[in-house]
Amino acid sequence: MHTRSDDLLMLLAVVDSGGFSAAAEALNQQVAKVSRAVNKVEKQLGMSILNRTTRRVELTEEGRQFVNSIRIGLQQIQQAEEQLISQGEQPKGKLRVDAASPFIFHQLIPLIGEFNRTYPDIDLELTSNEGFVDLIEQRTDVAIRIGKLADSTLHARHLGKSELHIVASPDYLSRRGQPTKVQELSRHDTIGFSAPKILNRWPLKGFELLSPKFTSSNGETVRQLALAGNGVACLSGFMVNQDLAEGRLVTLLSTEKTTTAGREQVSAVYYQSSAVAKRISAFIDFIQPRLSL
C-alpha cells in the first residue's frame, strides 16, 4: 500500500513548522487529522520519521532522507500539473525569493511595483537571510547570492557584477581626515562584518584581515553606521551607488584597490526541477536588465 500525497504534504507541513499544532493551523485542518496522517505514513513505512518531544518535533536520520526525497517528488508532481494547466498562460502562483536584506531594500523593492503590474498573478514572498540558505529546507524557489558559487547541485544565472567600494561619510572624514594610503587605515575606526570573516578582507593592496571597531552580520546595518559617520566600511555598489552619487558617502583609496572578481559576482540560484520554473524565469528575466549593481 502506497502513502498518499496529501498525507505526505501534511508530514512536510509538520516538519517545516516544527510541530503538529502549527502545521494544523497553517493547513487549516484539525490537529488530530494531521497527527493521523503522519502516523499513517510511519505505519506504512514501518519506521519512525519524527522524534516527538514536549517542545517540538524533530526528524530521525531516516526521516530526514525520506523527507528530502518526497519534497523533490511532490515538487515534480506539482510541476507536471502546473505545466499542463498553464500552457500558454501567464505565470501564476507563489514565488519565494530569498536575498540578503540590503539587496532586497536597494535592488528588489524598487522593482516590485512594475513586476506586479507585469505579472499580477505571481504572489511574491520575500525572505531575508544574511548567509546562504538551503533552498529545499527553507522552501525557497530562487535565491540571490553575492560572491563565488560553490554548490554544484544548483543552477545559476549570472546577474552581473557589483564593485566593492571603501567608503566613509563626509562628516567622518572632516573630523578624522581622509586616508590616502592603505597603512593609514590603522588610525581610523572601521566597520565590518561579524560573519563571515572573509568580508573583512578588503580588496586593497597589502591589506591584512581587518579587526573592525564596529561589526554587524547585516550589510544594511554596516551601511547605516557608515552613513551616520562612525567610520570606514567596505560595501558593494548595489547598496551604496546612490549614496556615492548623492554625496552621502565618499569612495576612498580607489587607486589602491585590487580586483576581487569572485566577491563581486551576483547570481540567481535555483533548482532546475523546481515546480515553479515558469515563475522563476519570469522573475529573473524581469529583474536582470533593471538592476543597478
| pLDDT digit string, tens, across residues 97-116 | 999 999 999 999 999 999 99
pLDDT average, residue stretch 17-34: 82
- Do residues 282 and 216 share a domain? no
| pLDDT tens-digit map of 64-103 | 888 888 887 777 777 676 666 556 667 888 999 999 999 9
pLDDT exceeds cutoff 50 at 248? yes
Which of 71-80, 219-228, 277-286 has the largest mean confidence? 219-228
pLDDT exceeds cutoff 90 at 41? no
- Do residues 127 and 271 share a domain? yes
Single out the residue in 55, 85, 115 at which a domain terminates.
Answer: 85
- Do residues 147 and 172 share a domain? no
Single out the residue in 25, 55, 85 at which a domain terminates.
Answer: 85
- Mean pLDDT for the chain? 84
Name the residue range of residue 169's domain.
164-261
The enclosing domain of 178 has a CATH number of 3.40.190.10
Q: What is the distance, to the nearest Å, from the Cα of residue 251 to the centroid of all Cα atoms in its chain?
A: 27
The reported pLDDT for the residue numbered 283 is 95
The residue ranking higher by pLDDT, 124 or 79, is 124
- Do residues 74 and 12 share a domain? yes
pLDDT grade for 1, boundaries at 50, 70 and 90: very low
> For residue 96, what are the CA distances in angstroms to 136, 289, 291?
11, 20, 19
Give how many domains the chain has, as a whole number. 3
In this structure, are residues 106 and 239 in contact, taking their beta carbons and an 8 Å threshold? yes
| pLDDT tens-digit map of 137-185 | 667 889 998 888 776 667 888 999 999 999 999 999 999 999 988 888 8
Share of the chain above pLDDT 70, in %: 87
Angstrom distance (rounded) from CA 212 to CA 214: 5
- Do residues 153 and 269 share a domain? yes
- Strands of the sheet with 93-99, listed across from one edge: 122-128, 93-99, 142-146, 265-270, 155-161
The reported pLDDT for the residue numbered 123 is 93
- Do residues 122 and 151 share a domain? yes
pLDDT grade for 32, boundaries at 50, 70 and 90: confident
pLDDT grade for 24, boundaries at 50, 70 and 90: confident
- Do residues 177 and 249 share a domain? yes
- Do residues 227 and 254 share a domain? yes
pLDDT exceeds cutoff 50 at 201? yes
In this structure, are residues 215 and 192 in contact, taking their beta carbons and an 8 Å threshold? yes
- Do residues 179 and 251 share a domain? yes
- Do residues 15 and 48 share a domain? yes
The enclosing domain of 62 has a CATH number of 1.10.10.10
- Do residues 256 and 271 share a domain? no
- Do residues 270 and 254 share a domain? no
User: What's the predicted TM-score (pTM) here?
Assistant: 0.68
